[in-house]
């Protein structure tokens, strides 16, 4: 295992913020190498330091790391214009010399500088839009980012700050920012790179900036929405977020002059020349991808939810406890996952090891509540419900639930029993757990992902408990359990003093 040791400040941050455990590194790296070796479509680097950058960028979630590695290399196939300039092309050095992209080398030895997010300055006003395209600029940026991923531990561990200085930007620059280009920029950076964005800072914003700004903002995650800062000419305000030690002298910083930074990167690229040339062989062969090949136009599939009732003890837990847990996860999905809202859901009910006591919990009252709270109350479009490993007696419960569904959802029920191949016609392997023949991570990795996600939303979920209805104040007749479910029961109410 060839890994560069971290300075003590970064090592502590990696443990506390990224879940890094030195005892697990060898196992996690081998897991990724084994996974890459099994992907027929994927040609990916397996250098320890390279893979470690992706692990750190995904906070050591193997499931997320695999997704990001696949996406990173898929972008080379689906957005080739963003990677077309090579480090040997004359254009590369022309753009580098202009200082359109400046990454001040973090060579300071003080703790504050070492642990500060890596700064990148982008100055589009320095290039001629009649001679160069924004894709050319991004191509150069991707080459520098490769070296950054290999060498800059502070960027991987503490994240990045990007400063977009729009001084000198013209209408010609703005016209290059088509919706297609903006979308590719977001996917190849926010989604595909294992770098945590700590801030995007805009300086010297011209007239018309708001149109592009709002278009980019709409494509960013909610977290990155909150990390957009517009200062125009107020550099002092920017210094509150980006320390002077990591900024070029021309921006009032101590990170070297623009010429010194350019010379540094020219030399660094020369040092990496053989490595960069070798790196050109990596990417994806979409004709060999299991399932549907990825294209430049994103292919979205319904979100899959797996229910495995045979894993819980019916003497210890009622089915309502299981549904309660599911309701918590669904709240987070509604907030975070646009895919599930737009494309809908597929549910897989694996009835392996389900017993009579499990079936006994499925009373008419419970089944009715399940249908109302899921089919009728949730803003999810059901695209399919798939049954696996169905036991004797299944038909009784199946027919009872089917009778409660609307006609559209009745036509979207599929019983595969043990025929997984039949299920794959509806649900691609890429989004299924490894235990079901898929590439979507192991069940343990998925469980760990959700445990962590719930912890992140702890305060939000606690606050959410106060919302509901006060039926005593409803105009007209208050709703009752009998109205809603046609039977006795209870439903969530908000009591207001």
pLDDT of 469-496, one tens digit each? 998 999 988 888 877 776 544 334 434 3
pLDDT in tens, 68-91: 999 999 999 889 999 999 999 999
Would you tell me how many other CB atoms lie within 10 Å of the CB of residue 105? 17
DSSP 51: H
Cα 463 from chain centroid (whole Å): 25
Kindly report the average pLDDT of the chain as a whole number.
88
Provide the whole-model pTM: 0.61
Q: Is the pLDDT of residue 298 over 80?
A: no
Listed in order, strand segments (DSSP E) in 315-433 are 345-350, 382-388, 413-417
Q: Which of 146-150, 188-192, 267-271, 292-296 shows the lowest mean pLDDT across its residues?
A: 292-296
Q: How confident is the model at residue 115 (pLDDT cuts 50, 70, 90)?
A: low
The answer to whether 38 and 139 are in contact (CB under 8 A) is no
Domains of the chain: 8-279 (3.40.525.10), 303-465 (3.40.525.10), 470-497 (no CATH)
pLDDT in tens, 153-167: 999 999 999 999 999
Write down the pLDDT at residue 489. 40
Task: Give the integer Cα–Cα distance in Å for 464 and 331.
Answer: 9
Beta strands at 160-165 and 382-388: parallel, antiparallel or unpaired: unpaired
The answer to whether 166 and 122 are in contact (CB under 8 A) is no
Would you tell me how many other CB atoms lie within 10 Å of the CB of residue 353? 12
Helix (H, G, I), strand (E, B) or coil at 460: helix
pLDDT in tens, 374-396: 888 889 988 999 999 999 878 88
Write down the pLDDT at residue 245. 85
Cα 439 from chain centroid (whole Å): 16
Task: Give the integer Cα–Cα distance in Å for 419 and 162.
Answer: 50
Q: Which of 38-42, 107-111, 171-175, 222-226 shows the lowest mean pLDDT across its residues?
A: 107-111
Task: Give the integer Cα–Cα distance in Å for 400 and 404.
Answer: 7
């Amino acid at each position: 295992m060839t890994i560069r040791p971290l300075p003590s400040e970064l090592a502590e941050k990696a443990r506390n913020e990224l879940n890094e455990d030195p005892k697990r590194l060898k196992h996690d790296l081998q897991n990724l190498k084994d996974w890459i070796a099994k992907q027929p479509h994927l040609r990916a680097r397996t250098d320890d330091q390279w893979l470690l950058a992706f692990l750190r960028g995904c906070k050591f979630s193997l499931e997320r790391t695999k997704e990001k590695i696949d996406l990173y290399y898929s972008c080379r196939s689906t957005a080739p214009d963003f990677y077309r300039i090579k480090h040997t092309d004359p254009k590369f050095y022309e753009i580098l010399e202009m200082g359109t992209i400046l990454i001040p080398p973090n060579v300071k030895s003080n703790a504050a500088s070492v642990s500060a997010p890596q700064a990148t300055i982008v100055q589009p006003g320095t290039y001629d839009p009649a001679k160069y395209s924004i894709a050319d600029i991004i191509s150069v940026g991707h080459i520098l980012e490769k070296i950054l991923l290999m060498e800059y531990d502070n960027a991987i561990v503490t994240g990045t700050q990007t400063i977009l200085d729009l001084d000198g930007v013209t209408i010609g620059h703005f016209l290059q920012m088509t919706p297609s280009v903006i979308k590719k920029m977001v996917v190849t950076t926010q989604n595909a790179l294992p770098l945590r964005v700590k801030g995007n800072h805009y300086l010297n914003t011209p007239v018309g900036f708001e149109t592009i700004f709002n278009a980019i903002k709409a494509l960013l995650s909610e977290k990155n929405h909150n990390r957009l800062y517009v200062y125009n000419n107020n550099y002092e305000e920017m210094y509150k977020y980006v320390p002077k030690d990591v900024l070029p002298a021309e921006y009032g910083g101590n990170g070297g002059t623009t010429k010194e930074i350019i010379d540094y990167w020219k030399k660094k690229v020369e040092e990496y020349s053989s490595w960069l040339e070798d790196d050109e062989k990596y990417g994806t062969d979409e004709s060999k991808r299991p399932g549907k090949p990825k294209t430049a136009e994103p292919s979205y599939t319904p979100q899959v939810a797996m229910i495995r009732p045979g894993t819980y003890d019916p003497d210890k837990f009622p089915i309502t406890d299981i549904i309660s847990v599911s309701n918590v996860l669904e709240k987070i999905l509604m907030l975070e996952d646009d895919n599930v809202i737009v494309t809908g859901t597929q549910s897989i009910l694996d009835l392996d090891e389900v017993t009579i006591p499990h079936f006994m919990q499925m009373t008419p009252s419970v089944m009715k509540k399940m249908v109302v709270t899921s089919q009728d109350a949730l803003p999810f479009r059901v695209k399919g419900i798939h049954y696996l490993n169905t036991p004797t007696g299944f038909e009784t419960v199946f027919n009872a639930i089917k009778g409660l569904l609307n006609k559209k959802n009745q036509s979207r029920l599929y019983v595969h029993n043990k025929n997984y191949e039949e299920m794959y016609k509806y649900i691609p392997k890429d989004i299924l757990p490894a235990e079901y023949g898929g590439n979507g991570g192991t069940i343990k990795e998925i469980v760990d992902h959700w445990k962590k996600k719930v912890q992140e939303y702890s305060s939000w979920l606690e606050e959410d408990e106060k919302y509901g209805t006060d039926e005593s104040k409803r105009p007209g007749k208050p709703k009752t359990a009998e109205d809603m479910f046609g039977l006795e029961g209870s439903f969530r109410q908000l009591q207001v003093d």
